[in-house]
A and B are shown apart, each in its own frame.
Chain A
Amino acid sequence: MLHRFRKQKAMPVQECPSCAHTTQGGNGEDQTLTNVANGCRCRIRRHRAHGAIRQRLLDLGFVPNAEIEMVRCATLGDPLELRVGDYYVTLRKREADLIDVRAA
């Protein structure tokens, strides 16, 4: 959790274009899925995951160009719940950090 805290401080804070929440990363710039605020949508640019994790993510619809919505995070801040198309998937931040996205 300490780790997350540091990371947030280091990134510039910006308004999410589709809602009132704040999100990190510049406009059009890539950011990781971890940094998307609750209720915001984004599109997948690419994966930096390999092997089993990559396959699992692809199986669950985290394919390039898919639209993802951040639904909520668990009580202790991890894992995350995301909407992919018409179903919901949970990911740990560790895995979400391997996905580069761009604001939708």
Chain B
Amino acid sequence: MSPAKKNIMIGLAGQQNAGKSTIFNMLTGANQHIANYPGVTVDKKTGNYRDELGRVEVVDLPGTYSLTSFSLEERVARDFLLRERPDAILNVIDASSLRRGLYFTFQILEMSFPVVMALNMVDVATAQGRKIDHEKLGRLLGIEVVPTVGRKGRGKLELRQALRRAAREERGEDEGFQDQHGLRIIYEELEEHIASVHEQLLESENLVKAVPLRWMAVKLLEGDSEALKLLRRHHARADAVMDAVSAATAVFQGKMDITPADYIVTCRDRLAASLVEQCVEVTRADTVRFSEKIDRVLLHRAFAPIFLVLTVYMIYELSIVQGYKLTFLTWPALAWVRTVVAGLLPDPGLLHDTILRSMSLWMVDSVNTLLNYVPIFLILFALIAILEDSGYMARIAFILDRVFQSFGLHGQSTLPFILGGVFTGGCAVPGIMATKGIPDERSRLATILTVPYMNCLAKIPLYTLLVSIYFAAYKSYLMLFISTITIIMAMIIAKLLTSTILRGRETAPFVMEMPNYHMPTLMGVLRRAVDRTWVYIKKVGTIVVAVAVVVYVLLQFPGLPEERMSYFDARMDEAIATFRGNIQETPYAEILADDQAVLNLLNIANTYREAKLAASTQEASSAVDDRYEALHPEIFPLLRPRDADARTISRHLRGLSSERSNLRTAIREETIVYSYFGTVGRALEPVTQYAGFDWKINVALISSFAARESSVATLGVLFQEGADESLSLEERMERSGEATGFTPLHAFALILFFALYPPCLATTIMVKVQTGSYKWMFFSIIFPTVFGLAVASGVFTISTWLGLSGIQAMVGFYFLALGTAIGLSFLPDPAWKEPKAALTRAKEV
């Protein structure tokens, strides 16, 4: 291969907060692609650019502090390096904490990769009074060091050139790793042992091809479990080598009174310290860091919670409240799409549509519901990106960690809970998406599974309905109950999960760097917001279509029985007959003689009305008129009536149209009653009676799985039978309640169940996306159903037995739950009890 045309692959490696993402964006510009590393949920970001020699692919490795095998990210990063063998590594280092960054550099150098160092944020280091001689550093390390300021795009060209120079050497396909590049770390007293292990490793040809041997020898002496696995895979005499390693370890420890692992770290640290000493000139000594000055206020022991509450309130206000206002702008656009799709599908029938039409529209509606969150997400993700980039997110975790820790959660669980609706009125979908940053696998899963207990916006209508009918006198108590019980229950459940089924999951210690405050860049924030939103659109978009079909079938089939069908048909016929009678006198009666013509007129009138509503300007509006006049010359006078006759028809047509839409709504809702879900609702009655739910409530609850909002709508249909149409749903439920004995206690059990109810369809899909497993998705549906039903049944049955009223049951339950939560918080975490066991388990994954 001639160097004239060569495509290369670069691995971008570095520690968190070193500005890796900004360097990645600077190098690759807009050509980026996000996927997952095969088999794990860790993000794989790749991008590419062209230079004069060809294409350069940049793979962003997960941000890690080192390349050991303790966390998922580290293993992913290391496996990638060993398997894909990038042509060069770009190591991004935060110039203001050079010494720690060098550890990482040493580790990649030890893995025999050609390295280019991007000494990022040199401006920050300078501002802190530290001048780094990058040329000298490069000479000492034996690699090129390029000073950069990622946020300002400085150093881009130099980096690209340096990467080319580093990767220029030829490399055969299966040759194994070449000799080490750059600086070689000398482990003094340990060197003889390294050399002897190295020699034994040389015996295996497979191993020579698979890994850099000196690195392997060091890793084995360090006691790295993944290195051991590699050894077993590739080396025929793995056990003999391991015996030699153990013997060497014992000898060394006996002589030096320190483990080889600790000794290795100490050597690296000493080397890093000496490099820093040689290359960094301190121009201003011992100045208090700017970030620390801010923290003295923001992290003040007494004031910190106040600032935190303000921040949380801002996020909530800007994304959820203001974001919902934005959906008033986007919804018409989505509605327009629906209209277009509706126009392409077969025309609607009078009362019954073809499956093609109804199912397609169902899917469009499902997708639209989810896309409607997009403006909220954009704002939300932008705000989260600002919090992350600025460095405040780490501080939020710092302030709240103690609370969450008692329940097996993590400081960083705060944000997901906030978004899920701690203040009544969030949404679990963005809440679950925000769990991404939690480093501790066990806490992350526990957070994902408990966020849906928060009060999402769509739960509010049912609460309001039940509270205003049955607890009118205690409204404020009930609202306080609802908004705090969810948090209490979420904590109890988190504790239960983390000490049972999540017990064996990998937990990470809460050891976190407190990053410097940075000013976030506009581009960085926007890009992250758009990236994350796009992932949401893509993933949810694909899965939701599949699930929507299933739910459609379960809610629509087997359909209405014959007699109900003919009842509705008769009502429609009657309405058309009345319409005909009313317009008999007009000259248009003739063209509306057959049913098809009436149907056409109804459909055209509907699309015309929608088109007129969508037209925002005068011109657009008259363009609509022109179009309809040209398309339907004989009907147009009825659409835009100018004479008295046409006005009569138009008036009666509106009456007919509204009767038709009423009937259609009634059919749609009654179909639910007769659907498979409806049947299930009846079948569940023997079980749910202990919670006081009859089949109507069951159907409402089941149908609300597709979307929470539908619970109230379904209840509306179910309580319609025989009731006076002019009564409100409240009055109807109350009246029917008097007949069936529905008491405030029933209502309380229902509220309780609804609070603990499984997440809606969109949320369960997010659970799948974030956990990467259908197992957790089903768990997130089944567990809350069983748990919620058990709690509601227990409360209802025991309260009935004790003769408690609804409000008494509420008070009793509240203090019981609060007491349980406080009690559980004192229960020691299983991972603390046996720290060693939990850690070894983590190591072996």
Chain A: residues with CB nearer than 8 A to chain B? 46-47, 50-53, 55-61, 63-66, 71-79, 81, 85-92, 94-95
Contacts and interface: CB of A to CB of B under 8 A. Distances in A.
A91 B401 CA distance: 10
B266 A64 contact: yes
A42 to B, nearest CB: 17
Contact of A95 (B399, B510, B514): B510
Nearest to B100: A61
Which 5 residue pairs spanning A and B have beta carbons closest together? Answer: A51-B839, A59-B65, A76-B402, A52-B70, A88-B514
Interface in B55-74: 65-66, 68, 70-71
Contacts of A81: 295, 299, 398, 514
Interface in B38-66: 65-66
A57 B510 CA distance: 10
B398 A56 contact: no
B840 A51 contact: yes
B96 interface: yes
B292 interface: yes
B299 A56 contact: no
Contacts of A95: 509-511
A55 B68 contact: yes
Contacts of A74: 299, 301, 304, 398-399, 401-402
B136 interface: no
Contacts of B840: 51
Contacts, number: 129
Contacts of A78: 401-402, 405
Interface string B258-302: 000010011001000000000000000000010110010001011
A95 B440 CA distance: 15
A92 B514 contact: no
Nearest to A77: B402
Most A C-beta atoms less than 10 A away, residue of B128, B402, B840:
B402
Contact of B103 (A56, A59, A71): A59
Contacts of B292: 71, 88
B97 A58 contact: no
B99 interface: yes
Contacts of A55: 66, 68, 70
Nearest to A83: B292
Provide the main secondary structure of the chain B interface.
Answer: helix
Contact of A51 (B65, B70, B103): B70
Contact of A87 (B66, B103, B513, B832): B513
Nearest to B512: A90
Contacts of B508: 52, 56
Given A55-B66, A75-B301, A60 B99 contact: no
B403 interface: yes
A52 B514 contact: no
Most B C-beta atoms less than 10 A away, residue of A63, A71, A89, A95:
A63
Contacts of B97: 85-87
A50 B839 contact: yes
A49 to B, nearest CB: 8
Interface of B: 65-66, 68, 70-71, 96-97, 99-100, 103, 128, 262, 265-266, 269, 289, 291-292, 295, 299, 301-302, 304-305, 394, 398-399, 401-403, 405, 411, 508-514, 832, 835-836, 839-840, 842-843
Contacts of A73: 301
Most A C-beta atoms less than 10 A away, residue of B295, B399, B508, B839:
B839
Nearest to A91: B511
14 contacts: A52-B842, A55-B70, A63-B266, A63-B269, A72-B301, A76-B402, A79-B398, A85-B100, A86-B97, A86-B99, A87-B97, A91-B509, A92-B405, A95-B509
B264 to A, nearest CB: 10
Contacts of B405: 78, 92
Contacts of B262: 46-47, 64
B306 to A, nearest CB: 10
Contacts of B302: 75
A54 to B, nearest CB: 8
A95 B511 CA distance: 8
Contacts of B835: 50, 53
A75 B304 contact: yes
A60 B100 contact: yes
Contacts of A72: 295, 299, 301
A76 B403 CA distance: 8
Nearest to B17: A87
A81 to B, nearest CB: 6
B839 A60 contact: no
A87 B295 CA distance: 13
A90 B96 contact: no
B514 A89 contact: yes
A60 B100 CA distance: 7
Most B C-beta atoms less than 10 A away, residue of A55, A87, A95:
A55
A90 B514 contact: yes
B398 A51 contact: no
A50 B514 contact: no
A53 B509 contact: yes
A95 B512 CA distance: 12
A60 B511 contact: yes
Most B C-beta atoms less than 10 A away, residue of A52, A92, A95:
A52
Contacts of A52: 70-71, 508-509, 839, 842-843
A60 B269 CA distance: 11
A47 to B, nearest CB: 8
B514 A60 contact: no
Given A50-B836, A74-B304, 20 more contacts: A47-B262, A50-B835, A52-B842, A56-B65, A56-B70, A60-B65, A60-B511, A61-B100, A74-B301, A78-B402, A79-B398, A79-B401, A79-B510, A81-B514, A86-B97, A86-B128, A88-B291, A90-B511, A90-B512, A91-B509
A19 to B, nearest CB: 15
A60 B16 CA distance: 11
B100 A92 contact: no
B510 A91 contact: yes
Contacts of A64: 262, 265-266
Nearest to A54: B261
B504 to A, nearest CB: 14
Nearest to B841: A51
Nearest to B262: A64
B265 A92 contact: no
A76 to B, nearest CB: 4
Contacts of B839: 50-53
Nearest to B401: A79
Contact of B510 (A50, A63, A85, A92): A92
Nearest to A73: B301
Contacts of B843: 51-52
A76 B411 CA distance: 12
A81 B402 CA distance: 13
